[in-house]
């Protein structure tokens, strides 16, 4: 009996509850309808569907997402509503949702009517990874968290870039000078290093090879991506997000939490004896405000903000600016090199229009509200959004609207931002979101990535698509959606060796080519770049270009690795092969520039000097190949920095160690090449042969020898890599000077006041003033020589033909009446043709 009464009571209470909710909803619906009628609101067009509840659309969404084409699918759907900027309506499981296509509606949601919208189910969606952090907080808690973060971003925005420069240097060190590399994981590591360093004062240094936590960093990076992707999937099936919670997702979240917990423990903030540094104050404040587990989640949220902030540019830069856009638009890359600041002017980067890092977002109405437009068949009526309904907006889709960005909206054309056509674009372009929740790190990201872009383009001036990678149209590539937009196939680019232009006068005619050649284990630009300043004295406007405004500065890169320990496969080429390649590539570059008569000055470090000597001897020996011989003819001066002209004892030691390593270490672990090292050994036969070939040519060049005056730290002792007698032999008509630095730093100058720099630049200025007139006369004589040799060859050919026919022929002199002096030059008691023509100019050496 009692059980029966309890059952009936429960049913009656439940029925009353249902009736109350139904009456409340009916009342709300009637009130909402009155508001809609008062403001003339209409519903937007409904997205066509074939199956009930739009199940066919759900299938299409999941299918295209699995294929990496979801955003392209949404763009195709939106094109049907573009003429009137209509707002599409679609019914799926759960509440009704609207896709915002008009900028005014986006502005209403993010700014004007900000308080009318909330996150809805987002806290539950993100809970497995982020808990109750700033990504999901609202109201007072969100304001408190945002204020704390705002102060931190202001602090790091104006501190110097020493820490950030360090991480970019680490990134560049991880990039091979040649070959194919996937930038996307490296940019994730850069993001992680920078976020932890600048927000917490201590980096995890994931880009440094061989660090103790390398494996943990790798697990964290992989887990973080898996967890982000899981959140994105839960986000797309809301409010049924709880159905997605696979073991791999749970494990990834646990790995991320464990990593952050260990990171906080390592800071040891609770230790009273620990000297809390100023940069630790931020995380200490977090630990005080959110103790225990909440502290870990807030730190994780901050790391995510750092990642998201920098991913808005760094991952986007890797995926878009280099891989997807710049290397597919060479004219834009060239222009970016010339005026990097102008392309980034105004707080935007053109690539973010086409590839916003956070391409999809939504809000849920917390109260009934209005949108200014989008209703009705023409899309020009206000629209009612009831409490609990969703609004979805996509920067990716909206920024491709042709009625806003023009018929070429899908094209990468940065000039559109400069022509004035987009002055009123406003809420059609919001890569940092907008309104009260606008990204806190906008200025921070602009500053950081501007620096990264410049450094990478300075270091790698020849970045291209790897062979076999298709040059896809913008937006047609496969994409991966996590919390940010990534490439499904990574970001593979190829950096090649060869001639790289570091500086070209903008408004002055070029009068001379300066060519820098690095040494063993060197790098095309890093060899000449000081640390930590990151200043390459060959190209920085405050250094060499300031004193030689009419010089084009080139650097030649080649594989000078002697082992694969640093990630670069060593080359089997010897000095001769490198020398021949240098001549061929330099000649090709000058020929395409129509500058085959322009004077050349070489700047060489270590092995680079040996290669240049061999290259000039090779070019001089090719008398009948005028284009090759021109490299020798046009070379006026050479600056040798630490070149072992007589070899180095350290090369002997290194060669012995290499041979031992070759015998004991399998090739699957590391590869070694001993050819280049052997060439630099003391009393090397290769060096002696090169010296014998170069010595007769030296009177034609100005030569300046520099030697190192500080010993290099070799771990087991300090010593000179190349001693003075080998680096700067005492020869007539040559200049000599010591540089107060070790072997590696002797060609990296810290400031324009560095005495070694001033000495080198003064010499370069002298040579640049003298070279044009001397080389012009020398080149003309060489041209006459090549012409005369052709006449001689023709004369010999005609003479042979004359003796082979019975009919009388005209004498050879009839054809070559002006060539008699050539025969005299070839007689045994006359100097060689080369000497007769090239040594008429008595050059002071």
pLDDT tens for 758-791 read 999 999 999 999 999 999 999 888 888 877 777 7
Q: CA neighbours within 13 Å on the CB side: how many for 240?
A: 7
Residue 341: the pLDDT is 44
Radius of gyration of the chain (CA): 35
**74 CB neighbour count, 10 Å cutoff:** 21
Residue 598 has pLDDT above 70, yes or no: yes
Q: Does the pLDDT value for residue 363 go beyond 70?
A: yes
Q: What number is the average pLDDT over the span 316-340? A: 55
- Does residue 365 or residue 268 have the better pLDDT? 365
What was the pLDDT predicted at 469? 74
Q: With 50 as the cut, is the pLDDT of residue 384 above it?
A: yes
How far, rounded to the nearest angstrom, does the alpha carbon of residue 39 sit from its chain's CA centroid? 51
∠ at Cα 651 (717, 522), nearest 5°? 95
How big is the CA angle at 745 (ends 743 and 746), to the nearest 5 degrees?
70
Over range 573-599, report the average pLDDT.
89
Residue 299's pLDDT is 61
Structure confidence at residue 82 as a pLDDT band (50, 70, 90):
low
Band the pLDDT of 832: cuts 50, 70, 90: very low
Mean pLDDT, range 95-105, rounded to an integer: 86
269 DSSP 8-state letter = T
Higher model confidence: residue 124 or residue 352? 124
Task: Tell me where in the chain the CATH 3.40.50.1820 domain(s) lie.
Answer: 497-779
Which residues is 705 bridged to in the sheet? 640, 736
Q: Does residue 349 register a pLDDT over 80?
A: no
Mean pLDDT of the chain: 76
3-state secondary structure of 672: strand
When comparing pLDDT for 736 and 472, which is higher? 736
* Local confidence band at 479 (pLDDT 50, 70, 90 cut-offs): confident
Q: Domain 497-779 falls in which CATH fold?
A: Rossmann fold (3.40.50)
Cβ atoms within 10 A of the Cβ of 628, count? Answer: 18
Per-residue model confidence (pLDDT) at position 284: 59
Distance separating alpha carbons of residues 519 and 610, to the nearest angstrom: 9
End-to-end CA distance of the chain: 121
Averaging pLDDT over each range in 441-445, 526-530, 617-621, which range is the top one? 617-621
Distance CA 837, CA 355 (A): 61
Mean pLDDT of 356-372: 90
Q: Hunting for tokens 């969100």 — which residue is that? A: 142
| Residue % of the chain over a pLDDT of 70 | 71
pLDDT at 833 over 50: no
As given in the structure block, the two tokens for residue 300 are 């994780």
What's the pLDDT score for residue 370? 94
CA–CA dist 643, 320 (Å, integer): 41
Beta bridge partners of 530: 535
Q: Indicate the helix (H) or strand (E) that contains 382.
A: strand 381-385
| Residue 644 or 421, more confident | 644
Which segment of 263-267, 426-430, 707-711 scores lowest on mean pLDDT? Answer: 263-267
How far is residue 645's CA from residue 651's CA, in Å, rounded to a whole number?
Answer: 12
Confidence of residue 328 (pLDDT cuts 50, 70, 90): low
- Who's near 395: CB < 8 A, 6+ residues apart? 356, 358, 359, 361, 429, 430, 431
Residue-wise pLDDT for 702-761, tens only, equals 999 999 999 988 766 788 888 899 999 999 999 999 999 999 899 999 899 999 999 999
Task: Kindly tell me the sign of the dihedral angle through the C-alpha atoms of 331, 332, 334, 335.
Answer: positive
Q: Which of 546, 118, 165, 486 is nearest to 312 (CA)?
A: 486
Helix, strand, coil proportions of the chain in percent (round to 5)? 50, 10, 35
Contact call for residues 556 and 498 (beta carbons, < 8 A): yes
pLDDT of residue 58: 80
The overall pTM is greater than 0.85 = no
Does the pLDDT of residue 818 top 60, yes or no?
Answer: no
Buried/exposed 395-408: b ≥16 CB within 10 Å, e otherwise: bbbbbbbeebbeee
The pLDDT of 577-589, averaged and rounded, is: 91
The total of other beta-carbon atoms located within 10 Å of residue 203's CB is 20
Residue 663: exposure state from Cβ atoms within 10 A (0-12, 13-18, ≥19): exposed
């Amino acid at each position: 009996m009692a059980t029966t009464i309890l059952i009936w009571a429960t049913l009656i209470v439940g029925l009353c509850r249902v009736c109350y909710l139904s009456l409340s909803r009916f009342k709300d619906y009637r009130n909402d309808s009155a508001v809609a009628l008062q403001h003339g609101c209409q519903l937007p067009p409904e997205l066509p569907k074939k199956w009930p509840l739009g199940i066919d659309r759900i299938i299409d969404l999941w299918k295209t997402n699995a294929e990496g084409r979801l955003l392209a699918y949404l763009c195709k759907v939106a094109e049907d509503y573009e003429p009137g900027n209509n707002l599409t309506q679609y019914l799926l499981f759960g509440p009704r949702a609207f896709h915002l296509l008009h900028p005014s509606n986006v502005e209403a949601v993010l700014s004007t009517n900000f308080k009318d919208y909330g996150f809805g189910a987002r806290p539950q969606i993100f809970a497995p990874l982020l808990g109750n952090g700033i990504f999901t907080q609202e109201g007072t808690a969100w304001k408190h968290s945002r204020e704390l973060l705002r102060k931190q971003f202001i602090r790091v925005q104006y501190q110097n870039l020493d820490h950030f420069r360090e991480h970019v240097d680490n990134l560049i060190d991880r990039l091979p000078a040649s070959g194919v590399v996937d930038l996307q994981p490296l940019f994730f590591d850069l993001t992680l290093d920078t976020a932890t360093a600048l927000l917490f004062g201590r980096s995890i240094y994931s880009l440094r090879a061989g660090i103790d936590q390398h494996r943990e960093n790798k697990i964290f990076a992989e887990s973080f991506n898996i967890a982000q992707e899981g959140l994105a999937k839960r986000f797309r099936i809301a409010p049924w997000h709880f159905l997605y919670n696979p073991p791999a997702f749970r494990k990834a979240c646990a790995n991320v939490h464990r990593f952050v917990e260990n990171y906080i423990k390592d800071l040891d903030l609770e230790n009273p004896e620990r000297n809390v540094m100023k940069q630790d104050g931020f995380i200490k404040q977090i630990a005080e405000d959110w103790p225990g587990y909440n502290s870990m989640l807030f730190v994780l949220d901050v790391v995510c903000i750092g990642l998201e902030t920098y991913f808005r540019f760094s991952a986007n830069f890797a995926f878009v600016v280099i891989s997807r856009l710049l290397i597919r638009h060479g004219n834009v890359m060239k222009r970016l090199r010339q005026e990097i600041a102008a392309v980034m002017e105004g707080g935007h980067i053109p690539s973010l229009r086409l590839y916003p890092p956070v391409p999809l977002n939504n809000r849920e109405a917390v109260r009934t509200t209005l949108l200014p437009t989008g209703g009705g068949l023409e899309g020009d009526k206000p629209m009612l959004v009831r409490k609990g309904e969703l609004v979805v907006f996509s920067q990716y889709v909206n920024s491709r609207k042709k009625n806003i960005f023009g018929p070429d909206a899908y094209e990468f054309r940065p000039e559109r931002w400069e022509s004035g056509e987009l002055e009123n674009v406003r809420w059609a372009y919001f890569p940092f979101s907008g309104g009260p929740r606008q990204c806190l790190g906008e200025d921070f990201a602009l500053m950081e990535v501007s620096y990264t872009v410049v450094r990478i383009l300075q270091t790698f001036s020849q970045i291209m698509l790897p062979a076999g990678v298709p040059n896809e149209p913008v937006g047609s590539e496969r994409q991966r959606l996590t919390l940010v937009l990534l490439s499904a196939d990574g970001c593979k680019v190829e950096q090649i060796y060869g001639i790289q232009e570091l500086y070209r006068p903008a408004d002055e005619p070029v009068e001379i080519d300066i060519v820098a050649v690095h040494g063993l284990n060197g790098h095309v630009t890093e060899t000449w770049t000081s640390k930590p300043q990151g200043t390459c004295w060959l190209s920085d406007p405050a250094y060499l270009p300031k004193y030689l405004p009419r010089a084009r500065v080139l650097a030649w890169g080649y594989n000078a690795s002697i082992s694969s320990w640093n990630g670069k496969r060593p080359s089997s080429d010897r000095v001769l092969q490198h020398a021949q390649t240098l001549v061929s590539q330099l000649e090709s570059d000058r020929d395409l520039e129509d500058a085959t008569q322009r004077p050349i000055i070489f700047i060489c470090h270590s092995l680079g000097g040996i290669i240049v000597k061999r290259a000039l001897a090779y070019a001089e020996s090719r008398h009948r190949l005028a284009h090759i011989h021109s490299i020798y003819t046009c070379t006026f001066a050479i600056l040798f920095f630490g070149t072992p002209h007589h070899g180095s004892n350290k090369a002997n030691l290194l060669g012995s160690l290499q041979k031992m390593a070759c015998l004991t270490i399998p090739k699957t672990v590391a590869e070694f090449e001993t050819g280049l090292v052997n060439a630099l050994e003391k009393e090397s036969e290769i060096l002696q042969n090169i010296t014998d070939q170069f010595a007769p040519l030296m009177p034609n060049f100005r030569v300046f020898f520099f030697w190192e005056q500080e010993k290099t730290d070799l771990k087991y002792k300090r010593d000179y890599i190349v001693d003075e007698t080998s680096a700067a032999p005492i020869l007539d008509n040559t200049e000599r000077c010591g540089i107060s630095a070790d072997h590696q730093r002797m060609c990296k100058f810290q400031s324009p006041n560095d005495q070694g720099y001033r000495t080198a630049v003064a010499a370069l200025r002298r040579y640049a003033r003298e070279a044009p007139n001397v080389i012009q006369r020398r080149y003309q004589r060489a041209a006459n020589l090549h012409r005369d040799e052709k006449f001689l060859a023709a004369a010999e050919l005609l003479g042979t033909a004359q003796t082979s026919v019975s009919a009388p022929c005209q004498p050879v002199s009839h054809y070559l009446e002006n060539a008699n002096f050539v025969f005299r030059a070839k007689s045994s008691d006359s100097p060689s043709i080369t000497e007769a023509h090239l040594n008429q100019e008595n050059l002071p050496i």
